[in-house]
Amino acid sequence: LSLILNMATCPVRFQFSCDNIPEGLNFTHEISKSLVRPLSHARQDDSYAYRFQRAVLPFLKEHEPVCRAASNPFCGICGSPIATVLQTPMSFLHKEGDPYVGVLVSGVCGKGECESQTRQAIQEEMFEVGAGAEARVGAVVCAVCGKMEGIRKCGRCKAVAYCGKEH
């Protein structure tokens, strides 16, 4: 029975916050109903953060090209042309009546220092808007490939995580 419940899905809004589109980019995707639950239940479930990241990662990858096109073409730190966009998902799946996933999108040039500073700014912004621990359910993924296994945080900034030395 629990396997059947885990397979049940419901439509969830994904709201991508990009520089050049004030209203954001909105898409709807089917998410496992087991992820749409009160915050208190999510916090008690040790696997929730992992399952959340696994569920949203394909949608982040799917919308990366349109997010890049909707982002400032220049790095917000050094002004160089962007090489990629960082997508930071935040779970608001606990919001009764309108569960959604907010995604902060930030263009970066590819330099490690710029990426580190951008990630630090994202973390600060999340706490300023009250997202902090409520919205970001604690999962840590590789800043380069999105991998969730064998992750270690940067020893210098403590904000960026990587799956290995090559990343």
Selected residue with higher pLDDT from 67 and 160 = 67
Selected residue with higher pLDDT from 152 and 53 = 53
Tens digits of per-residue pLDDT, 71-130? 999 999 999 999 999 999 988 998 888 899 999 999 999 899 999 999 888 888 777 665
Number of CB atoms found within 10 A of residue 128's CB:
9
| Average pLDDT, integer, range 151-164 | 70
CB 10 within 8 A of CB 36: yes
Query: The tokens of 89 are what?
Result: 């998902």
Selected residue with higher pLDDT from 61 and 163 = 61
pLDDT value, residue 113 = 93
CA distance 127 to 55: 23
Query: The tokens of 22 are what?
Result: 């004030």
